[in-house]
Structure 1
Amino acid sequence: MGEFDIERVLVDTGSTVNVLFWRTLEKKGVTPEQVKPKTRTLTGYHGIAKMSMGDMKLQVRAGGVTRKTTFLVIDTPPIYNAILGAPWIYAMQAVPSTYNLCLKLPTTTRICTLYSDKRMA
């Protein structure tokens, strides 16, 4: 994502937004001024509402395909470093398989399959 490699990314078919956690960005040297201020209320699976810090657009590369992606930045303790939701999945024309822990997406020459780390999952 952007200029850095991000590990521990959740591809979440139930998420209506793409999410980046502030701690992840902070570790990569991003300053608060680089986040475009725009607050939105997010509600997690536990029903608690959280305000976002703003938006950030980054190029996301997966399987040789790159798409500019808008993320909501939130300041909360992360379980993952980022969450790629339905907007990213649709933009990539990807098909996630939770059973096989993989993601298939078309490239210009073939169908690429990305696998997750089964021990970590």
Structure 2
Amino acid sequence: MPKVTFDRLEIKPEELKSTGNPLLGFNGKRVEPIDTVELVVRTAERDLVESFVVVESYPSYNLLMGRGWIHRVQGVPSTLHQVMRCLSPDRSKVIDIHGDQVVAKECYSVTLKAAGKEKAHIRSVAAQ
């Protein structure tokens, strides 16, 4: 969780718990975490307590949910379709958690700009 997201959530600093484990960033560099915080996340009709590592970074996302969380909600993600499909806790219905492809493309462009690269030329290709 970027610190800016932590700040926006208006969580009391006392709720942070110490962590001594460094992280490896997507760019391969070592990232020193500020601390961790546990939050209740409601997804797919479940309330799960998740631990988030708070880091000083300015990425194009608010939170990253890991494989452990995906497994706990029994999710099957599709990056192609920007959706994660889950079963309800009683397994009676399918729940789709949709992403927004427009926002995803904007985030990608912001990330490229932050890395000093040109904006990607994104275009749709229709099947014939």
Taking structure 2 as the reference length, what is the TM-score of the superposition? 0.73
Q: 1:120 aligns with which of 93, 103, 112?
A: 103
CA deviation vs aligned residue, 1:75-110 (integer Å, no higher than 9, x gap): 211321100011111111111001111001111221
Q: 2:42 aligns with which of 44, 49, 61?
A: 61
CA offset at residue 32 of structure 1?
A: 2.7
Q: Which has the higher strand share?
A: 1
Q: Which has the higher helix share?
A: 2
Q: Kindly, what percent of the aligned residue pairs are identical?
A: 25
2:94 is equivalent to residue 111 of structure 1: yes
Give aligned pairs, total.
102
**Contact kept? 1:43, 1:50, Cα under 8 Å:** yes
SS at match of 2:101: coil
CA offset at residue 65 of structure 1?
A: 2.0
SS at match of 1:40: coil
Runs of 4+ in structure 1 over 4 Å off: none
**Contact kept? 1:40, 1:54, Cα under 8 Å:** no
Partner of 2:54: 73
Partner of 1:13: none
**Larger relative CO (CA 8 A, sep 6+): 1 or 2?**
1
CA offset at residue 39 of structure 1?
A: 2.5
Taking structure 1 as the reference length, what is the TM-score of the superposition? 0.77
**Counterparts of 1:79 and 1:39, CA distance in 2:** 25
Structure whose CA Rg is larger:
2
Name structure 2 gaps, 5 residues minimum: 105-128
Name structure 1 gaps, 5 residues minimum: 1-19
RMSD (Å) for aligned C-alpha atoms: 1.3
